[in-house]
Amino acid sequence: MENVFFERINKINPKILEGLKEKKEFSFRINRHKAGLETIEELKKEGYFPKKVDWNDYVYTLPMEERKKITKSKPYTANKIYIQNLSSIIAANSLDIDKNDWVLDLAAAPGGKSLIFSEKADKVSAVEPDKKRFFRMKRNFKEHGAKNIQTYNKDGRFVYKATGALFDKVFLDAPCSSEAHIDLNEGITWWNLKRVRRFSKLQKELIISAFEALKPGGEMIYATCTFSPEENEEVIDFLLSRYDNAKVLKIDLPIANIQEGITEWENKQYNPDVKKCIRIIPHNAYSGFFFTKIKKES
Ligand SMILES: C[S@@+](CC[C@H](N)C(=O)[O-])C[C@H]1O[C@@H](n2cnc3c(N)ncnc32)[C@H](O)[C@@H]1O
């Protein structure tokens, strides 16, 4: 299976393999429910000198060696900072959220992205079917001072049946084969093609639910932390084949380690609009990620 994995990744982009080996930095953001930019001065007093990213004043990186140690710092224990990957942060920020929007996070635990949405919108609904993860997520919201998130211990596939087209914005950070988290030093132990296909089927059911739950005129993001086109472009292609009013929107990102969507994979041709999808190639504090913005036209 290892060979199949490497062959597929090399076909998508050989730079991915370099990126999977290189993890020199980690990132965090300031939790705006509890803190502001003064947090950086507090960290400096404790001997940390974070580097700001150039696309957000509240997002910083530090060397990986400090990842464990910082969890003992005052700002961390007071929940003033939240350790989160840059790719997750930039994808969550790509959903244009207004204060009055009602945002649905359809696969939400541990809740890092819901926390970002809750800093921007008055109302957020977070769905997570796994009981253990659900209660950990609730605790996470409480600890970080987010009082505007309603939580639902439900299966995301059926949410739209209860809500109808209710939400202004939806984020679907789909369960996936997590290829971006494979540690090449440990070997490819849990990856196989059957798993990829199983997730692809679940993701297609979830994207239908996400799109149905969106108000006409609303926007959603579909995301995964995996590289396989079956779990990415194929899922978007599936949605586009089912709904004439689903339109892929272009996303402008201020980073260089990205690649446009793939329109052909293993003798399958996808809708040419999947070109507008974004694949983040892992690099420093950016882990591998895939995301697409979709509008529901009236
Ligand atoms: C990639 S993680 C989400 C990470 C989260 N958005 C964050 O940023 O903190 C995917 C989540 O989907 C959940 N999940 C699995 N099956 C699901 C389903 N049928 N409906 C909704 N969520 C599901 C998993 O338990 C997992 O917590």
Q: What is the CATH number of the domain that holds 94?
A: 3.40.50.150
Which residues, including other chains, have CB under 8 Å from residue 189's CB and lie 6 or more apart?
none
| Residue for token pair 């970002």 | 116
159 closest CA partner among 134, 135, 132, 125: 125
Q: Is residue 273 part of a domain?
A: yes
For residue 83, the CA-to-ligand 1 centroid distance in Å is 18
Q: Is residue 59 part of a domain?
A: no
Is the beta carbon of 104 within 6 A of some atom in ligand 1?
no
Counted domains in the chain: 1
- Whether the Cβ atoms of residue 168 and residue 124 lie closer than 8 Å to each other: no
For residue 13, count CB atoms less than 10 angstroms from its CB and return exposed for 0-12, middle for 13-18, buried for 19 or more. middle
Q: Is residue 56 part of a domain?
A: no
User: In degrees rounded to 5, what are phi and psi of residue 123?
Assistant: -130, 125
Q: Is residue 18 part of a domain?
A: no
Q: Which of 225, 240, 277, 280 is an active site residue?
A: 225
Query: What pLDDT score does 108 carry?
Result: 98
For residue 174, the CA-to-ligand 1 centroid distance in Å is 6
Cβ atoms within 10 Å, residue 246 = 20
Q: Is residue 197 part of a domain?
A: yes
pLDDT tens digits, residue range 30-42?
A: 999 999 999 999 9
Q: Is residue 34 part of a domain?
A: no
Q: Is residue 255 part of a domain?
A: yes
| Whole-structure pTM value | 0.98
Q: Average per-residue pLDDT in the chain?
A: 97
Q: Is residue 102 part of a domain?
A: yes
Is the beta carbon of 62 within 6 A of some atom in ligand 1?
no
Whose CA is closest to atom 10 on ligand 1?
175
For residue 36, the CA-to-ligand 1 centroid distance in Å is 29
Is the beta carbon of 156 within 6 A of some atom in ligand 1?
yes
Is the beta carbon of 136 within 6 A of some atom in ligand 1?
no
- Whether the Cβ atoms of residue 89 and residue 50 lie closer than 8 Å to each other: no
Is the beta carbon of 110 within 6 A of some atom in ligand 1?
yes
For residue 48, the CA-to-ligand 1 centroid distance in Å is 32
Query: What pLDDT score does 184 carry?
Result: 82
For the segment 220-227, the average pLDDT, to the nearest whole number, is 98
Query: What pLDDT score does 289 carry?
Result: 98
Query: What pLDDT score does 56 carry?
Result: 98
The best mutation among 105, 149, 173, 207 to test binding of ligand 1, ranked by most ligand atoms within 8 Å of the C-beta, falls on 173
| 150 vs 167: CA distance, rounded Å | 13
Position 55 pLDDT exceeds 90: yes
For residue 20, the CA-to-ligand 1 centroid distance in Å is 22
- Supply the range of the domain harboring residue 155: 2-13+87-280+289-296
| pLDDT above 90 coverage of the chain, percent | 94
Is the beta carbon of 107 within 6 A of some atom in ligand 1?
yes
pLDDT tens digits, residue range 64-121?
A: 999 999 999 999 999 999 999 999 999 999 999 999 999 999 999 999 999 999 999 9
Position 203 pLDDT exceeds 80: yes
Is residue 225 annotated as part of the catalytic site, yes or no? Answer: yes
